[in-house]
Structure 1
Amino acid sequence: MTTPGAPTSPAHGKETLGMNDKVKALSRNIEAIYPLAPMQQGLLFHSLMHPGKGMYLLQYRHVMVLPQLDLDAFRQAWAQVVERHELLRTSFVWKQQKRPMQVVHKQVELPIAYEDWSEIDEAEQQARLEHLLAEERREGLDFTQAPLMRVRLFKLAPDTYQFVRSYHHILMDAWCFSIIMMDFLDGYRAAREGRRLELPKPRPYRDFIRWLEQQKPEDHQAFWQQRLAGFDTPTTFGFGHPGRVIDAPEPVEDCVEHLSVEQTQGLQQAAGRLGITLNTLVQGAWALLLGRYSGNRDLLFGVTVAGRPVHMQGMESIVGLFINSLPLRWSWQPQQSLGAWLKALQAENLSLREHESVSLAQIQGWSEVQRQDLFQSLFVFENAPISASLRQGQLDYLISDMANRTHTNYPITVVIVPGEHLHLQLTYQTEWFLRAEVEQMLRHFRTLLLNMGDTLARDTDVPLQRLAMLDAAEIAQQHAWAAGGLAADEAQLQPLYVERLQRQVRRTPSESPWCMASAASVSIS
């Protein structure tokens, strides 16, 4: 500590001057500072609360066959993508501020790593890749250092490469995939030809933040209070709870099924004839499945909406996080007709869109559910537009083995990806569930969805209670049990009862369960 007016040592003076120079250099590199979108705040909060888990860290990857790779052009193209989009040059600060802020830097350097793995066998290549990705999830990305994205390229064989782009979800949503990939492809072609790609500057993401700041949440309060009135307990799954599985290798896992081309087309046609979207049909299957699993007629789960203001010019070309998660409350009765129920569900979805600018935190504040998440499952239908060039395969290379990673803060995230083969995915938190349970749930989801499509093709007035979620093998097993030809597996049934008892003890520790057998008292602790 120095006293006022006291001379400082030469070493201290040089140190202070050095610090001042660094501060000045940092400030000169700042382009803009502005608040976070509510969704960004939520992702930041959950990521900071769960360090080492890789929550909301996305790791997109594909294998590509690219003859005569120009590595310099590759690097130059990605550098230009980062230069073009401000969210890719953004860091986040929150420790010294009243509320989190995002800092757009004028210049940042995108980490691009290249390694030659062509001398090792395929199994070792895959093992090495999985190790690197797992290590990245444990380490996470530093929110205070831009960019929150990195690119890696591994040579697997002559002209064959493993591409990985890791980034935090706080930067962008699925809509941005096409924007970024087309910017890179066009930039790569230009760089190989020795020219710089000239594109019109996109509208800045801060315009969206400014629009959000101008919205009045109180204008939507009555709507959400009416929708959530009387709902005070989140919809559960009838199985699973936090802490049930200890020391799982990964915090989340995916269960995935793909429908055939014929099955996918059948669902699309059934939805079209009824005048609803494929999104509504699949969403209805999830709602009915939740009703069957939870035993509730009054249901609530989360849905993701695009969130881009359609009236604002240029919003479609911005890289940024626009999506929002909203609660969808829906009910069902056994005698309701399938067609009318689905049409009403689509109308409800349209109603929510009129009130989608409000944050989930604000909505929950208007609900009767407190001190816990409003819902335990999030339904995501990936309907972001894809460039015609990407759809039609007009690329400079062949792509295979595409994959991305999903990790939200919800116990189950439903991910639906439309395409030639409809993609059905349940991503679950491994501390909550056993994999076999979620795999069975996915089979029930698939069976119920296909039965809904087949039923709509014949008769839209069929009651909901007539829709089966069990496949032929499960139905045959139940018939065998009913006929007495196959006894229930006591070893499988017993743990369920024990687990229910343990759960009740945890829920009411002050009330020790007990039972009376003959004249003796037996206590269970």
Structure 2
Amino acid sequence: MSRVDDDDDLTGPTGELPAHWLADLARVDGPSAEYAPPRTDAERLLATIWQEVLGVDRVGIDDDYFELGGDSVHAIVVVARAQERGCHLEPDQLLAGRTVRVVAARAAPVPAGYDTEATDTDGEHPLTALQQGMLYHAVGGSTPGAYVVQVSCRLTGDLDHTAFDDAWQAVFDANPVLRTVVTWRGGASARQRVVAGLRMPLRLLDHRGMEPSDREQSFAHLLDSDRQDGFDLETGPLMRLTVVAEREREHRCVWTYHHLILDGWSQQLVLRDVFDCYRRLRAGKPPSPRRRPPFLDYLDPLRDTVREGDGFWARRFADLTQATRIAGPGCVDGQVTTSGRPITELTVPAPVAGTLTDLAGAYGITAAAVVHAAWALLLGLRTGTWDTVHGVTLAGRPPHLPGVTESIGMFVNTLPLRVSTSPEATVLDWLHDVQARLSEVRQRQHDALSDIERQVGLAHGTGLFDSIVVVENYPTWIGAGDEVAGLRVDRLSVVVEEGYPLVLEYAPGTEPVLRARFDDRRLDRPTVDGILAVLAVTISAAVTDPGQRLAALAGTAHAAWDRSREDQRQALRDGAAHRLGTTRRRTVSGIGVDADA
């Protein structure tokens, strides 16, 4: 990192101080600074939006965004709401500016010319970049359950079956994207279209007469067969619901849909609308589902954000010599299989979560940057290089498009993140660099991965990477332990096959969770458990001492990996000794010899 001398020019090309310096000046008194009320229309607007999104009673123009509880997840919603109310800014401006004073000074009016009128949902429409990739794997010889998402939970309470079914059908009818099918025959490009009058398949099974052990076995079989059934993409519908009555006030619910039509953000919106409709129906009112902006309205604006032929990816990967892979050989002929993937998770201790928040407040480093950086470092230890590539999953919802955060559809995309590390760099400088790389990728979030791999020329049909990191970047409306419309939700599970042998997830919160879904034919559970443990150690060490050299952090991670491997070997030795002892006792008993003789 270059040093700034006293006589260097401290202004940007427009003569303005960099946003993070302005933010520092605005926070000279720290979090205890006296409340300063908004003075301009832009400041009043942003302060109101921050109050709404962050759930705080009052926001002054010098209050720090991170100290108020903001993060990159909230930033998408803040920017989208500002856009809808005539104030244009980018998420990076919000994260860098950090105060209403600074952000409002850099905001601009929404550009004229964007047509917010709904487009006709009739006819055929092109697929997004990620939809094209999913379709390729889903129909290219793969088993029927590829890219099938299965959400299951237990509902405890007095479930009104008729109202519950009607609520689901009302939401299904209200959102054209849920009635989407895909066609691709005859050599033509794949297209998606909405089918009018399509009904959502709903079924009720009664398992109340079964023994508890039989119920569990039957439900496990139901989940497996439901995944394997898959969907007929050309005829639809591409979602269905199964409700299983297990006791008088206890039901299991299985909502299954194809990933082509919904992302994780949309999943939460659908669930919110369903339970809102159910609550109204139980009160004797019409379901009245929300009128949400149709996904198809955004296809043309999303394509407009793609910048083809500018050579960005070729430059970014110009001197990369190899792809980054950590798993064993993949499926034959590129086939994506659908056996239920094991999931393992680890809770990040609360003190580490607090330190992450402190790091964001002090330096503007997001949790996403820390998690991606830590995984890049572990990839380097696993593959023996300081230059790695892994996949980053992006929301794909440009905040400048009005209503985009309230739309239901498949916006998400996965793109490559290249992280080059220097052992002599400080961890803080490295985290800033990774965050800048993430920002660059977000600016390209609608580019097609297949086009990128062709430009780079290293994938050779197997991809630039075989691991992806998902930082949950959508507002969560319903979760395990919640009570909604008189029903308690627990035993919540989401099963999805993304086509990668290792998917790492980070769920933020007061006690964040690291989660791994993996292909156990290519990675064994002890290895994945070790990856999560070492990743947690690396994150903790990075945020606890961001001033240390990267070489020191790598040494900490390496030592943690060695401990994990030794723990695995000891567990194997203990298991073998136990089995040997059991075998000896059985043998002695079998030939009638006194074991104490």
**TM-score per shorter chain, which class?**
0.7 to 0.9
The whole-number CA distance in structure 1 between the counterparts of 2:401 and 2:450 is 25
Matched, 1:383 2:473: yes
Contact 2:393 2:414 in 1 (8 A): yes
Q: How many residues end up aligned between the 2 structures?
A: 446
Change (3 A) 1:145 1:420: farther
Give the aligned partner of residue 258 of structure 1: 347
Equivalent positions of 1:116-515 (< 5 A) are: 116-199=206-289, 201-218=291-308, 221-237=310-326, 240-242=328-330, 250=339, 252-369=341-458, 370-387=460-477, 395-456=485-546, 460-467=547-554, 468-469=556-557, 474-475=562-563
Shift of 1:440: 2.0
* AA of the residue aligned to 2:272: M
Measured in 2, the distance between the counterparts of 1:56 and 1:380 equals: 16
User: Which residue type is aligned with residue 135 of structure 1?
Assistant: S
Distance of aligned partners of 1:362 and 1:478 in 2 relative to their CA distance in 1, 3 Å threshold: closer
Which residue in the other structure is 2:128 paired with? 37
Q: Please, what TM-score do these two structures have when normalized by structure 2?
A: 0.69
Cα distance 1:193–1:251, how it changes in 2: closer, same or farther (>3 A)? Answer: closer
Q: How much has 1:180 moved relative to structure 2?
A: 0.7
Partner Cα separation in structure 1 for residue 479 and residue 325 of structure 2:
42
8 Å contact from structure 2 (residues 480, 490) kept in 1: no
Change (3 A) 1:357 1:347: same
User: Does the 8 A contact of 1:75 with 1:112 survive in 2?
Assistant: yes
The equivalent of 1:22 in structure 2 is: none
SS of the equivalent of 2:319 reads coil
Tell me if the contact between 2:338 and 2:497 (Cα under 8 Å) persists in the aligned partners: no
Q: CA RMSD in A?
A: 2.9
Q: Indicate how the Cα distance of structure 1 residues 477 and 101 shifts in structure 2: closer, same or farther if over 3 A, else same.
A: closer
Paired residue for 1:52?
143
Task: Provide the C-alpha distance between the structure 2 equivalents of 1:182 and 1:275, rounded to a whole number of angstroms.
Answer: 32
Supply the AA of the counterpart residue of 2:268. S
Tell whether the 8 Å contact from 1:243 to 1:431 is kept in structure 2 after alignment: no
**Relative to structure 1, is the Cα distance of residues 285 and 49 closer, same or farther in structure 2, using a 3 angstrom cutoff?**
same
- Cα distance, 1:173 vs. partner? 0.6
Distance 2:469 2:406 in 1: 25
Q: Distance in 1 between matches of 2:182 and 2:558?
A: 48
For the structure 1 residues 409 and 475, does the alpha-carbon distance in structure 2 shift closer, same or farther, using more than 3 Å as the test?
A: closer
How far apart, in 2, do the equivalents of 1:270 and 1:304 lie? 23
Distance 1:471 1:76 in 2: 56
Return the alpha-carbon distance in structure 2 between the equivalents of residues 308 and 454 of structure 1: 33
- SS of residue matched to 1:374: coil
Report the CA distance shift for 1:154/1:337 in structure 2 as closer, same or farther (over 3 A).
same
Q: Aligned-pair distance for 1:327? A: 0.8
- The 3 A distance-change label for structure 1 pair 90 and 243 is closer
Aligned to 1:44, what secondary structure does the other structure show? Answer: helix
Deviation at 1:171, TM superposition (A): 0.7
1:92 alignment counterpart = 182
1:148-200 deviation per Cα after TM superposition (whole angstroms, max 9, x unaligned): 11111112222111111011111111111221112111111222233223355
CA distance in 2 between partners of 1:289 and 1:418 (Å): 20
When normalised by structure 1's length, the TM-score is 0.78
Structure 1 residue 96 displacement after superposition: 2.5
Q: Which moved more, 1:157-166 or 1:366-375?
A: 366-375
Aligned amino acid, residue 138 of structure 2: S
Q: 1:292 to 1:251 in 2, by over 3 A?
A: same
Specify the code of the residue in structure 1 equivalent to 2:448. S
**Structure 2 vs 1, CA of residues 387 and 371 (structure 1 numbering), >3 Å: closer, same or farther?**
closer
Secondary structure of residue in 1 paired with 2:402: coil
Residues 144 and 231, structure 2, Cα contact 8 Å, conserved in 1 = no
Tell me: CA distance 1:185–1:287, structure 2 relative to 1, closer, same or farther (3 Å).
same
- Look up the SS of the partner of 1:51 in the other structure: coil
Structure 2: segments with no counterpart, 5+ residues: 1-120, 577-597
Structure 1, unpaired ranges of 5+: 1-29, 493-525
Q: Which of 152-161 and 299-308 deviates more?
A: 152-161
Residue 43 (structure 1) shift: 0.8
Q: How much does 1:79 deviate?
A: 0.5
Compute the displacement of 1:215 (Å).
4.5
User: Structure 1, residues 394-449: CA drift from partner, whole Å, max 9, x if none?
Assistant: 54321111110131112211122223332212222223122222222222222222
Letter in 2 for 1:100: A
Identical-pair percentage = 26
Q: Which shows bigger deviation, 79-88 or 403-412?
A: 403-412
CA distance in 2 between counterparts of 1:392 and 1:152 reads 21
| Contact kept? 1:56, 1:407, Cα under 8 Å | yes
Residues 114-145 of structure 1: CA deviation (Å, up to 9, x unaligned): 12222223322221111111112222111122
What is aligned with 1:15? Answer: none
Q: Tell me how far apart the structure 2 counterparts of residues 151 and 44 of structure 1 sit (CA, whole Å).
A: 23
CA contact (8 A) 2:388 2:420 kept: yes
Please give the residue correspondences for 1:75-114 in structure 2 after superposition, counting only pairs within 5 Å: 75-96=165-186, 98-114=188-204
The Cα of 1:102 is off from its aligned counterpart by 1.1
User: Which residue identity does 1:465 align to in structure 2?
Assistant: A
SS at match of 1:252: coil
Q: Secondary structure at the match of 1:197?
A: coil
CA distance in 1, matches of 2:464, 2:240: 34
Q: Tell me the equivalent position of 2:102.
A: none
Q: For the Cα contact (< 8 Å) 1:51–1:140, is it kept in 2?
A: no
Q: Aligned partners of 1:47, 1:151: CA distance in 2, in Å? A: 21
Q: CA deviation at 1:100?
A: 0.8
Cα shift readout 1:41-78 (whole Å, capped 9, x = no counterpart): 111111122532622111111112122x2111111110
In structure 2, the CA distance between the partners of 1:33 and 1:263, relative to structure 1 (3 Å rule), is same
Q: Is the 8 A contact 1:271 1:281 kept in 2?
A: no
Deviations 1:10-30 (A, max 9, x none): xxxxxxxxxxxxxxxxxxxx9
SS at match of 1:175: helix
Partner-residue secondary structure (3-state), 2:226: helix
